[in-house]
């Protein structure tokens, strides 16, 4: 599009980048990039598998759920059910769209089934987005 993108590959990382953390990076040209770290979903944990669900039923981040931190929720987190028991109890769900700007785990709403299934999407992978006219991204 209309934005110039700089992609950086990080090696020998010590420590953990946290959602909301501010970072700076000086590239070889001397340009200093100021970035913010945003969380992306990396997994769905099943708390209660419910009954009557099928492979492919959707798992959607409940962006209306309350957050402990009070920070506005991200957007776009979606997944799907990829393993169920013979009774349709969810055994496993996977991320289809990691979304962006999630800072803490969020409840999942599953389509189909009896409506009793409960799950949590947890952000772990991170993307860095620039405050200036340049940006870079990197999943860790």
Across 108-128, average pLDDT: 85
pLDDT confidence of residue 67:
61
Residue among 93, 4, 109 at smallest CA distance from 61 = 109
pLDDT confidence of residue 68:
60
pLDDT confidence of residue 60:
93
Query: C-alpha distances in angstroms, 4 versus 71, 126, 130, 138?
Result: 29, 20, 11, 15
Instruction: Establish how many alpha carbons lie within 13 A of residue 130's alpha carbon, considering only the half-sphere containing its beta carbon.
Output: 17
90: pLDDT strictly greater than 90: yes
pLDDT confidence of residue 70:
61
Q: What is the pLDDT of residues 18-63, one digit of tens each?
A: 767 777 888 778 888 877 777 778 889 999 999 999 999 999 988 7
DSSP H helices, 16-111, are none
């Amino acid at each position: 599009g209309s934005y110039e993108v700089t992609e950086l590959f990080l090696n020998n990382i010590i420590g953990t980048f946290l959602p909301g953390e501010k970072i700076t990076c000086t590239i070889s040209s001397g340009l200093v990039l100021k970035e913010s770290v945003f969380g992306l979903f990396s997994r769905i944990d099943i708390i209660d598998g419910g009954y009557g669900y099928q492979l492919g039923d959707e798992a959607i981040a409940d962006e209306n759920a309350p957050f402990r931190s009070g920070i506005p929720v991200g957007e776009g987190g979606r997944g799907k059910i990829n393993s169920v028991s013979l009774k349709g109890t969810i055994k496993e769900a996977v991320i289809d769209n990691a979304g962006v700007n999630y800072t803490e785990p969020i409840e999942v709403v599953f389509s189909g089934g009896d409506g009793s299934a409960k799950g949590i999407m947890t952000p772990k992978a991170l993307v860095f987005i620039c405050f200036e006219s340049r940006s870079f991204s990197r999943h860790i």
